[in-house]
Structure 1
Amino acid sequence: MSNNNITVTDESIMSKIYVVRGQKVMMDSDLAALYGVETKVFNQAVKRNYARFPEDFAFRVTNEEFEALRSQIVTLKKGRGQHSKYLPMVFSESGVAMLSSVLSSELAIKVNIQIIRIFNKMREMWLTHKDILLKLEELENKVSGHDREIQVIFEYLKELLNPPQPPRRRIGFNVKDED
């Protein structure tokens, strides 16, 4: 999608979804960039409508969570997404949906719709693959703790494939030592 020479791809949005406190969230600076506004302006709009953003919609990350976010975002440098006085705000899917009532530019509305669709696709993918994930977890639980037993089985298989050779009798002239 493009508007005013700004292109927003599904991949670029998906790359900005992180996990904090067990929920998928997006950072204020990333959302502001997607909506084509400065982070400060974005956060002012949210602050003016604070009652619309309960803790499960938006929250400020802790120092520890910010450090964890930095590890999720390989290219995040110190200072990016963090004002000198404030840690970044993050927004859950519900918070992103609520942003549509706060930000009213044409670009913000289009990007917001696209973000909500991506959150829905991610949820559908998770539900579709939930059975596979459960089976993998079940298999992992069965296999864990059996490492030594599996290693012994492989050792036996290697012995069967390459049995030890009995020493061969040497051919040729043998000289016995005479005492």
Structure 2
Amino acid sequence: MQLQVIQNKIYEIRGQKVMLDFDLAGLYNVETKAFNQAVKRNIGSFPAEFMFQLTRTEWRGMRSQFVTSYTEYADNQQDALPENIGSSQKKRRRDLLPYAFTEHGVTMLASVLKSPTARKMNIAIVKAFIAMRKLVIQYAEVLKAVDDLRERIDGHDAQLNQIYDALENMLDKKAVEENRQREWDERERIGFKK
């Protein structure tokens, strides 16, 4: 699976990069319900910094991030989920809030989901998190380089202004001296004339 497909399923919630339970279940090719049951059977492996459940407000905000719109089913009180998740996860009860897994939580899933498919997918997901972290670091380095250039340019601007001021002063002095010399040369001479 391409890293980009996985990276598109990584969201930022509470200042952390996370993946949602239904996306992970889709990637692992299991139903969300079975996925969450496996996690709950091993809940001791998932402290709060590895996994947390979204609040209703966070879930509403997340739903607005999905490109596809949600269709509400008034008769069975379910929300449709985006098309990019597994077919077994197309509908989710409105009262069930998804779980979010941090990078460490995703790594811990390897000890819970032990199928060969899950292991391969887990490696791909961890690589996606690592690639995203590298991009963030590179972005920070580029911003620092731009700031350094800006400081240099600002410093050069100040130095160039000082040089321009000095040249103007020199030109003004030269003009004053030339004016004095011209006045001296054009003065009316007194004394002996030849």
| TM-score, structure 1 normalization | 0.68
Counterpart amino acid of 2:42?
N
Shift of 1:136: 6.6
Shift of 1:128: 1.5
Question: Aligned residue for 1:121?
Answer: 131
Matched, 1:93 2:86: no
SS state of the match for residue 4, structure 2? helix
* 1:30-179 matched pairs, under 5 angstroms: 30-75=23-68, 77=70, 78-80=79-81, 82-134=92-144
CA-atom RMSD in angstroms: 2.0
- Distance in 2, Cα, partners of 1:29 & 1:88: 7
- Distance in 1, Cα, partners of 2:138 & 2:33: 39
Counterpart amino acid of 1:45?
A
Question: Aligned residue for 2:191?
Answer: none
Deviates more, 1:125-134 or 1:92-101: 125-134
Q: Check 1:50–1:137 CA distance in 2 against 1; reply closer, same or farther (3 A cut).
A: farther
- Per-residue Cα deviation, 1:16-48 (whole angstroms, up to 9, x for no partner): 001100111001000000001000000000000
- Distance in 2, Cα, partners of 1:96 & 1:76: 27
Larger Rg: 2
- Distance in 2, Cα, partners of 1:47 & 1:14: 25
- Distance in 1, Cα, partners of 2:102 & 2:142: 26
- Distance in 2, Cα, partners of 1:58 & 1:86: 16
Question: Aligned residue for 2:183?
Answer: none
Taking every aligned residue pair, what percent have the same amino acid on both sides?
A: 45
Structure ranking higher in helix proportion? 2
Q: Check 1:136–1:99 CA distance in 2 against 1; reply closer, same or farther (3 A cut).
A: same
| TM-score, structure 2 normalization | 0.63
Question: Aligned residue for 2:20?
Answer: 27
Contact 2:3–2:127 (CA<8 Å) still a contact in 1?
no
SS state of the match for residue 60, structure 2? helix
Shift of 1:135: 6.4
Q: Check 1:136–1:25 CA distance in 2 against 1; reply closer, same or farther (3 A cut).
A: farther
Q: Check 1:103–1:137 CA distance in 2 against 1; reply closer, same or farther (3 A cut).
A: farther
Which of 2, 7, 10 lines up with 1:17 in the alignment? 10
- Distance in 1, Cα, partners of 2:28 & 2:6: 11
Contact 1:18–1:72 (CA<8 Å) still a contact in 2?
no
Contact 1:24–1:93 (CA<8 Å) still a contact in 2?
yes
Where does the alignment leave 5 or more consecutive residues of structure 1 unmatched? Answer: 1-7, 140-179
